[in-house]
Amino acid sequence: MDVSDDNDKIRRNLVMASTGALLAAFLNVKVEGTAKLLGVAEVTNLQSWKVWTALMIVLFYLLLRYRFDPATQKLGESFGGEFVPMVQKVVGLYLERKLCWDINRSKTSKILSNDSLIRAIHSLFTDHGSKVLLADWNKRLDFTYMQPHSGNMWKGGHRFNIGVDLGEGRAIAGGGIADVTIPIGIKLIVSMITGLKLFFYTRTGVELLMPYALGGGAVLVCIFKIGRFQV
């Protein structure tokens, strides 16, 4: 049996067990009294919290098997290969819009760690004999792209291209590297949105994340049920 067949079995078992647990919780299934284990041994004094505890242990085991299976790790590498470029694109778009907005309002931005971008913009307006006021940046300043150059996409040097419309069909352009630090809140939002896009629109995302989502949700439901019956 090859690795892919093994992974299919692990994934199927995890999905089926998780779905069963979620359905049992949704239908409010209660187990009390006695029951037969495997049709042979009789179990007495059966309580719901014990059943949910046993189910949680099984689900946790299946999650670990799925997590450390070699095929799952290969899927994770494929997912990362799709995830990072999409995040970089969204981060670049955020930087373009955010920096334009901040600079037009206050001539600087809190996400800039140095003033290289500000100096590059200023040189475009002054070194070419333009008399355009800084107040007119919102009408004339254009970012063409922001891309990671050093560090990482969240904190590090980003290469930028900018252009200025001087009117009458004339335009000038410049570029450089700006050090940026993106707030943790934006990082979380961008990662979540990109992950959801990959989850719903790519086969890799569905195959990799669906078992995690079902298994994690089922474990949380088991913990909630255990606490509820123990109170």
Cα of 141 vs its chain's centroid, Å: 31
Which tokens sit at 58?
């099984």
Q: What is the Cα–Cα distance from 177 to 93, expressed in whole angstroms?
A: 16
Q: What is the pTM of this model?
A: 0.61
CA-CA distances (angstroms) from residue 46 to 43, 212, 230? 7, 30, 14
pLDDT in tens, 122-171: 777 665 544 444 444 445 566 666 788 888 888 888 888 877 666 666 66
Query: pLDDT at position 45, please?
Result: 64
Mean pLDDT, residues 15-39 taken together: 77
pLDDT in tens, 99-122: 878 877 777 888 888 888 888 877
Which residues does 112 contact at the CB level (< 8 Å), separation at least 6? 99, 118, 178, 179, 180
Query: pLDDT at position 135, please?
Result: 42
**Percent of the chain predicted with pLDDT > 90:** 17
**pLDDT over 50 at 16, yes or no:** yes
